[in-house]
């Protein structure tokens, strides 16, 4: 439209003439001293400059074309010039037309740019949802022989669509059976990916890329997925904690229920209508419990007893059909906080609580030690079905006691007599089986009205191998203790 209007406007003559019967037509030439080039009145030529030789057509025909023949005497003069001015109406239209062209060009470039690159999207989902949709759509026509690839930030293939069908054998195992695209995505332009049973491990940046047959990129877009995991906090030494899990999916007693931690250790198993403790990892044995009527209520909440720092973890509940198909999945993150105990000044004794699964204590070694204030000293040690009093620091001899039935109850809490009231103290307890630390906890002891005990660095508390071994390794001279640890 812009070029048509511009072309028409340039054809508009500078001198507009109105042809009326009986009128006088005048052609002028500014370069001559005699301004009149040709004047007609009827068929007669009057007042014509002698340097011009002209012919005109009679006014009756409506053709007022002027033919100019150059005189040889005027060869050194300038050629006749006809001045043209740009019409006012064209000037008025030109500005908005230029703006329209510029805007149209910008929109076209923006569309083309985003057709190639795509839009970045941020998607949030909760662990426990049946699925999450990673959007990717285009209005552009895609060739029927194009290939669609969804990849994660490491370049692993999440889903591949090629030759009018999905290609699961090109996926990595982690995503297999969990992804799906709509039918005829190249025809509809809907390249969105459905990801089933999202967990925290699915938090990632996903890229959808469309390739031509010659491997040329036709379209590319990214989606950032953030999967939220439910948080549960509890103090170390607590008797139990609930890890919530509910589903509306139809469940049967033939279904298999598994709770696992982030190290893929089996926390709890329900199979063929009953719990299977023999399939549990030893660390969790006799410490877990689920509702018995979960097939009717959909409540798969797990009860975890006798909390320790080792229980800080991410737990995943999965339900499988009899054929092994995943019906539901959810994650819960458990954080076990420092256990804090307050005691009155002048109290006769204080209990430092700690319970573990009784299974862990068979043939195990239990050591309580104080790590703050310095120096680090052993407070109490237990092995061979008895207390190892000779290993205690002399300041604690006759001042500590553990339960006599600890092997049956798993209660390895320590009773400390005549606690010092001059400062806050921090204690730890560790359980070893064949030199492997299988359970541990921290107890912060403070006195009412005294200074608050500052928590340790969470990054240190969350790692069991970061426990200060100084008091244990410093007992190298004690053969029984050293042999047990090495």
- If asked whether residues 475 and 347 sit together in one domain, one would say yes
Greatest mean pLDDT among 44-48, 342-346, 354-358, 406-410 lies in 406-410
**Joined tokens for residue 349:** 């004794």
Q: Average pLDDT in the 148-171 region?
A: 95
From residue 26, alpha-carbon distances to 13, 19, 39, 170, 462 in Å are 15, 11, 5, 85, 103
> pLDDT value at position 457?
43
Based on the domain organization, do 332 and 343 belong to the same domain?
no
From residue 333, give the alpha-carbon distance in Å to each of 127, 242, 261, 338, 365: 11, 11, 9, 16, 29
Contacts of 383 (CB under 8 A, 6+ apart): 364, 365, 366, 480, 484
What is the C-alpha R_g of the chain? 45
Note the pLDDT of residue 299. 92
- Same domain? For 327 and 362 the reply is no
Q: Are residues 383 and 477 in the same domain?
A: yes
Is residue 347 located within the same domain as residue 310? no
β-pairing, 365-372 with 377-383? antiparallel
Domain count, the chain: 4
Residue among 19, 18, 14 nearest 88 (CA): 14
pTM of the model: 0.60
Rounded to an integer, the average pLDDT of 109-134 is 73
Q: Is 86 within the bounds of a domain?
A: no
Share the mean pLDDT of the chain.
77
Q: What is the pLDDT of residue 103?
A: 56
* Residues 343, 319 within the same domain: no
Q: Which of 56, 72, 88 is the last residue of a domain?
A: 72
275 and 330 in a single domain? The answer is yes
Average pLDDT in the 349-364 region?
88
Q: Give the residue numbers spanning the domain of 21.
A: 2-72
* Per-residue pLDDT, 23: 46
455 in the same domain as 350:
yes
Number of alpha carbons in the 13 Å side-chain half-sphere of residue 202:
32
The answer to whether residues 334 and 311 touch, using CB atoms and an 8 Å cutoff, is: yes
Q: DSSP state, 129?
A: B
Residues 240-260, mean pLDDT to the nearest whole number: 90
Q: Region 344-370: what's the mean pLDDT?
A: 89
How high is the pLDDT of residue 133? 97
pLDDT at 346: 80
Say which CATH number the domain at 379 has.
2.60.40.10
In a domain, 146, yes or no: yes
Among residues 312, 336, 360, which one ends one of the domains? 336
Contact assessment for residue 135 and residue 121, using Cβ atoms and an 8 Å cutoff: yes
**Is residue 100 situated within a structural domain?**
no
- 219 and 240 inside one domain: no
Q: In terms of pLDDT, which residue wins out, 99 or 326?
A: 326
Res. 358 pLDDT band, cuts 50 70 90: confident
Q: Please report where in the chains the tokens 């458990």 appear, as a residue.
A: 334
Q: Residue 97: inside a domain, yes or no?
A: no
Residue pair 452/338 in contact (Cβ under 8 Å)? The answer is: no
Asked whether residue 373 falls in the same domain as residue 436, the answer is yes
Q: 85 in a domain, yes or no?
A: no
Cβ–Cβ < 8 Å for 290, 308: no
Which one, of 351, 404, 393, lies nearest residue 369 by Cα? 393
Residues 219, 244, single domain; the answer is: no
């Amino acid at each position: 439209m812009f070029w048509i209007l511009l072309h028409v406007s340039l054809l508009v003559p500078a001198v507009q003439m109105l042809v009326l019967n009986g009128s006088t037509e005048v052609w002028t030439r500014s370069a001559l001293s005699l301004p009149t080039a040709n004047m007609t009145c009827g068929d007669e030529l009057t007042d014509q400059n002698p340097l011009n030789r002209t012919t005109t057509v009679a006014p009756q025909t409506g053709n007022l074309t002027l033919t100019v023949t150059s005189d040889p005497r005027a060869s050194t003069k300038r050629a006749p010039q006809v001045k043209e001015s740009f019409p006012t109406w064209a000037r008025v239209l030109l500005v908005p037309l230029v703006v329209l062209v510029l805007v149209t060009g910008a929109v076209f470039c923006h569309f083309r740019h985003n057709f190639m690159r795509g839009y970045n999207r941020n998607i949030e989902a909760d662990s426990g949802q049946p699925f999450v949709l990673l959007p990717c759509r285009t209005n552009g026509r895609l060739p029927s022989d194009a290939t669609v690839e969804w990849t994660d930030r490491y370049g692993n293939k999440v889903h591949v669509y090629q030759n009018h069908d999905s290609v699961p054998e090109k996926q990595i195992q982690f995503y297999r059976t969990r992804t799906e695209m709509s039918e005829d995505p190249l025809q509809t332009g809907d390249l969105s990916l459905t990801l089933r049973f999202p967990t925290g491990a699915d938090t990632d940046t996903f890229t959808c890329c469309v390739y031509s047959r010659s491997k040329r990129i036709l379209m590319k877009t990214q989606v950032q997925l953030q999967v939220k995991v439910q948080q549960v906090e509890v103090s170390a030494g607590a008797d139990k904690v609930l890890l919530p899990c509910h589903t509306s999916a139809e469940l049967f007693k033939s279904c298999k229920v598994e709770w696992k931690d982030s190290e893929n250790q089996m926390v709890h198993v329900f199979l063929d209508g009953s719990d299977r403790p023999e399939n549990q990892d030893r660390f969790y044995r006799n410490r877990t419990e689920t509702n018995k009527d979960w097939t009717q209520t959909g409540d798969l909440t797990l009860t975890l007893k006798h909390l320790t720092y080792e229980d800080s973890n991410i737990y995943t509940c999965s339900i499988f059909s009899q054929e092994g198909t995943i019906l539901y999945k959810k994650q819960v993150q458990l954080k076990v906080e420092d256990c804090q105990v307050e005691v009155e000044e002048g109290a006769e004794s204080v209990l430092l609580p700690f319970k573990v699964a009784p299974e862990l204590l068979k043939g195990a070694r239990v050591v309580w030690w104080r790590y703050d204030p310095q120096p680090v000293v052993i407070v109490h040690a237990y092995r061979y079905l008895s207390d190892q009093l000779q290993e205690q620091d002399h300041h604690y001899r006759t001042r500590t006691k553990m339960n006599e039935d600890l092997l049956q109850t798993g209660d390895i809490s320590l009773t400390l007599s005549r606690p010092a009231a001059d400062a806050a103290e921090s204690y730890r307890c560790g359980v070893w089986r064949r030199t492997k630390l299988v359970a541990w906890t921290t107890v912060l002891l403070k006195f009412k009205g005294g200074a608050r005990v500052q928590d340790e660095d969470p990054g240190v508390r969350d790692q069991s191998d970061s426990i200060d071994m100084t008091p244990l390794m410093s007992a190298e001279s004690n053969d029984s203790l050293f042999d047990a640890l090495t």
